[in-house]
Amino acid sequence: MVSPMTDSFTRILSGAKSALAYMEGNPPEGTVVHVPEDLDVAEIRTRTGLAQPAFAATIGVSLHTLRNWEQKRRRPEGPARVLLAMVEKRPQVVREILGEVA
């Protein structure tokens, strides 16, 4: 019989190894991360209730960049796309986690 302490340690170690593999770009078997290719940035911002200047400042991009995304002249890439996908699922996350810039 495995002691509870040994079992806990084994599970913690397994989780740490999985996290390290994920950070190194090798997600564990069965891990699926989906970030949509196309996001309606204007709709996402509107659902937060923030005006363009406040939303841009809150997510850390210039107003010019935000306007380019909203007018489909450019597409958000990388971390910005991930952040916008999260905000799309939970619009209140902007205020809850990032705060609001007046």
Please provide the average confidence, as pLDDT, over all residues in the chain. Answer: 84
Rounded CA gap, 61 and 89, in Å? 20
Residue 31 pLDDT > 70: no
Rounded CA gap, 91 and 86, in Å? 8
Beta carbons within 10 angstroms of residue 67's beta carbon: 15
Residue 102 pLDDT > 60: no
Tokens found for residue 95: 């205020």
Query: What pTM did the predictor assign?
Result: 0.64
Higher-pLDDT residue of 78, 65:
65
Q: Which CATH number is associated with domain 41-98?
A: 1.10.260.40
Report the pLDDT value the prediction gives residue 94, as an integer from 0 to 100.
Answer: 76
Residue 69 pLDDT > 90: yes
